[in-house]
Amino acid sequence: MVLFVVNENSGNGRGKKVWAKVESRLRLTGEAYEKVITRSEAEAIAFLSERLKHGSMKAVAVIGGDGTLHSLLPLLASSGIPYGLIPSGSGNDTSRALGIPSDPFKALSIVLAGHTRSIDLLETSTVNGVSQLTLTAVAVGLDATVASDVNGSGYKKWCNKLGLGSLAYVIGLLRALAKFKARPISVEMDGTKHEFKRGWLSAISNVSTYGGGLQICPNALPDDGQLHVCVVHSCSIPRILMIFPTVLAGKHVNQHRFVTILSGRSVTVHSPDSMLAFGDGEPSGATPITAVIRPRQLDFLIAVSG
């Protein structure tokens, strides 16, 4: 039996609409299922934690976005319980990276088919002892400032209503550039330090995209046993605005004067001035922050290729 964890508020209420479609299909096909209706990540954690104490289940599937998935990772990582997704969030980077369709019925078919792929996770830690698991990417610097602005904004709701969730990140970037200043960044990858005098961001990725579809680390795979880091540095605000459109297709990696790509198993980002960090679009503390790859920590329900 599959347990569906439904965040009705994801995507500005889209979660509720998506679940109505999914449940009607489940009833039509006669599939056995359970559901937990929540309105926040905190409720989802509490309900699933309690449910896990009472019997086994075939799989857990989220009707929600990257934030809902992120909140449940500590409960399901290494549990052996397959984890699935029917996307209804704003950015939906997890579904994009794992090839999960936006169509609710097609995504449901993947969940019910039961085919899994063991994927990696990122584990971050800060000097104050905060530790988190992240599935997609950890944004540090300008991109974290963008995430913070988007999460606390009113324009995100309107972008979602218009079906333009990714537009919120463009608006957030323009607003963040008005207040964020480039600063020295030290990125230590597997013991080797890389210094950047004017660093804008350091994105630590487990998958190729973040921020609603930006191909920040186009060669990253969720099961390659590596974390991938994109550092944008040594450029002006006009240059940032020129680089930004190229990230949509991953072409920014060719601009070697301003973009450095690194990969490895452990990375620590330092800065003289504290920089925000966001994992899966959720707060993860601030620099200095360390991330390590945790290979094959999660069995995710995906479509079989070929």
Instruction: Check residue 100 and give its pLDDT.
Output: 95
Distance CA 183, CA 1 (A): 51
Span 89-117, pLDDT tens digits: 877 889 988 999 999 999 999 999 999 99
When divided into structural domains, the chain yields a total of: 2
Residues 8, 47 within the same domain: yes
Residues 100, 130 share a domain: no
Q: Are 90 and 184 part of one and the same domain?
A: no
Domain of residue 7, CATH code? 3.40.50.10330
Q: What is the pLDDT of residue 230?
A: 98
pLDDT digits (tens, 9 = 90+) for 109-152: 999 999 999 999 999 999 888 899 999 999 999 999 998 988 77
* Shared-domain flag, residues 79 and 212: no
Query: Residues for the chain: how many in total?
Result: 306
Q: Please indicate, yes or no, whether residues 100 and 195 belong to a single structural domain of this protein.
A: no
Q: Per-residue pLDDT tens for 224-272?
A: 999 999 999 999 999 999 999 999 899 999 998 999 999 999 999 999 9
- Give me the domain span that covers residue 233: 122-296
Residues 144 and 252 in one domain: yes
Single out the residue in 54, 79, 114 at which a domain terminates: 114
Model pLDDT, residue 48 = 86
Predicted confidence at residue 22, as pLDDT, reads 96
What are the pLDDT digits (tens) for 161-177?
A: 766 667 777 888 999 99
Asked if residue 137 is part of any domain, the answer here is yes
Task: Tell me the per-residue pLDDT of 274-284, one tens digit each, with 9 for 90 and over.
Answer: 999 999 989 99
Residue 149 · residue 278 · CB < 8 Å: no
